[in-house]
Amino acid sequence: MVNLALGRRVFPLGILVIALTGCPPVSYELTINVTGNGSVSPAGGAYAADETVELHATPDTGWRFVRWEGDLTGSANPATIVMDSDKIITAVFTEDSAETGFDFYAMYARIIDEERHGVNLYNCEVDMCKDGSMLAGYAYDDDNNYYAYMTDFLGLSDRFWTLPATRSGPGCVAISPDGTTAYVAAAHEHESDMYPVLFKLVDETMTRLDVLMAIPQGVTSASVMHTNANGSDVYFRDGVHHHIWTVDHNGMNLCEVIDPDDYVELDGTRGLWISDFDLNDGAGRVAFIMERWVPPPGQGSFDIQHDIIAWRASTQFTRMTADSDPEISKGSVYITPDGLAVLYVSFGSAWYVADFAGASTAVPNLTPSGAAVGDGDLSTIFWSNTSFSYSGGCIISCDGTGKRDLFAGTGLDADGGLNMSSGGNIIAFKHRYKSYPHTEALYVGYLDTVDDLTDAPDIEWIAFSQPGIARDDPDDEVVVTAKVSDDDGLGVIDAVGRAVLRGGTSFAYGEAPVSLTRPSDTGSGPDAVAGDGIYSCLARPTSAMRAFAGNEVTVRIGVEDDSGNAVVGDVLLPILH
């Protein structure tokens, strides 16, 4: 053996050679990859050991930088890295979805609630003007004091008036289609008798109209109320005889418009009472649900039949439903602003559109417990049926297409007070956010808009880590990221949810071909950096994927803040063959 003497110690030559070849290299290799359309500067190369390199990600037009992957994580841009080893880094870009990338986007703003206004809207009515810019209603506090209110659709100019004490509280509310005037009806006691009274709301003033004392004795309330286009006349149904009356905005010229006894069928049957009615914009036509005995009394056993009747000026009645039509419920009826068509519900909760020729057409896929009509041609309906999962609020077209769940991915649902603007883009509803005691708040929703109209959170974009999810690979995973922000900071974000939809509607239990893990911004799992506002989750195929015939699913992210405001954003995830 050959030895090498260094001082007093002797080392085998082979060991010394190994020590020399183990010295660190003078440089390391940086490899840059790109997913999507964009570039990184510098683009890679060799760097001295422990050198700090600053990376700049530049997206192409129409794209945005999302994050770094590999040996560098997070979304900081520029970002730095220390070259203490060979590095492989991927810059991920996605198409900019700020305006066109969302398949659907909606914001829901809580505008009246107990915390900020001291009132509860449980079992209280609300009405919206034609373009959705103004709302009116009534509410009460913990001491059962009642209040009337008017507010704009952003909740920025709410006005409250204290209503005089009543035995049972207000009965109904109506706002004029132009949003200038509203009316609230209540029952009041006078010399031991109860009678209905109207309160007119205009600007900052509430005026009491006592003319309803002239209604025949025994009428104690007014229920179901509408106004003409500018609020100069009010139409209402009395709560005893169920006739329809009108009075002008000064409380004068009280007139009975429709007495159901005036309606006579060919077989001699007459109308008994009216259960619901609606008024077209010009107040020239009224559609109502009328009940009558069939056959007429005195001709053996009889039953009550419900018909849809249209009334035109000069007491012209038109029956819009036939005996062969499904049994009509006492529920809701809506007439188009032009007065040419009527939407109504059957006893079996199916909905129909009837025209003045007497033809009724079923609305497919619509079985709500309550509804509100949008466009003047009945092309859009906002409806709710909270007895079904994720069906606490939907929109649908009258031909049964275009159905979309509005609240999947959030904790919201529509518990009543359904209203929709004539354009179909603004809705109002009440949401029960406390179960005991029942406490409801008023919400306004802005559909298919990304404009920053409210204090609701924002979803700036939603991106996927790859072009789609594999149909035939059960182990495939797609990272879903969503950039969330709020004008008040990320600290107000209360919950971030998710949902997988078929188009715009929820899958039945067990049928969704894709599952989503809960989104998080904790810096663990698929999330790269904690607290940066980018929430991440994993999309994975389920056992239902093989049976699914579609080529894409809708991924929804829902965000709620600590004030009850919410936003949802939908994007399409392709299924790759």
The model's pLDDT over 190-199, given as tens digits with 9 standing for 90+, comes to 666 667 788 9
3-state secondary structure string across 42-72: CCEEEEECCEEEEEEEEECCCEEEEEEEECC
Residues whose CB is less than 8 angstroms from the CB of residue 183 and which lie 6 or more positions away in sequence, other chains included: 173, 174, 175, 198, 199, 200, 201, 225, 227, 231, 234
Residue reference for tokens 């994993």: 538
Tell me the CATH number for domain 458-576.
2.60.40.10
Question: Has residue 450 got a pLDDT over 80?
Answer: no
Residue-wise pLDDT for 9-55, tens only, equals 444 444 444 444 455 568 999 999 999 899 999 999 999 999 999 99
The beta strands (E) that lie in 191-232 are given as 193-202, 205-209, 222-227
> What sign for the dihedral angle of Cα 187, 289, 314, 262?
negative
Report the chain's mean pLDDT, rounded to a whole number: 82
Of 330, 368, 360, nearest to 343 by C-alpha is 360
Among 475, 471, 466, 454, which Cα is nearest to 545's? 471
Q: What is the pLDDT of residues 235-274, one digit of tens each?
A: 888 877 788 888 888 888 888 888 888 887 766 777 888 8
Q: Which of 134-138, 235-239, 317-321 has the highest mean pLDDT?
A: 134-138
Confirm if 143 and 155 have CB atoms less than 8 A apart: no
pLDDT at 445: 93
Residues in the chain: 577
Q: Looking at the predicted structure, is the pLDDT value of residue 556 above 80?
A: yes
Cis upstream peptide for 297 (omega within 30°): no
- What's the whole-number mean pLDDT along residues 63-91? 87
Q: How does 101-123 read in b/e, with b if 16+ C-beta sit within 10 Å? A: bbbbbbbbbbbbbbeebebbbbe
Residue 217: pLDDT band (50, 70, 90) is low
Region 516-523: what's the mean pLDDT?
A: 95
Q: Which residue bears the tokens 């205009």? A: 202
Enumerate the H helices of 434-548 as residue ranges. Answer: none
- Residue 368 DSSP label: -
pLDDT at 1 over 50: no
- For 154-177, b/e burial (b = at least 16 CB within 10 A) is ebeebebbebeebeebbbbbbbbb
Q: Where are the domains of the chain?
A: 27-95, 458-576
Percentage of the chain lying above the pLDDT 90 cut: 37
Say what the pLDDT of residue 11 is: 41
Distance between CA 95 and CA 218 in Å, rounded?
67
What pLDDT is recorded for position 308? Answer: 84
Confidence bin at 564 (pLDDT 50/70/90) = very high
Amino acid at position 573, single letter: L
Kindly indicate the confidence band of residue 281, based on its pLDDT and cuts at 50, 70 and 90.
confident
140 close to 191: Cβ distance less than 8 angstroms: no
SS3 assignment, position 29: strand
Specify the range with the lowest mean pLDDT, choosing from 58-62, 97-101, 314-318, 516-520.
97-101
384 or 64, which is more confident? 64
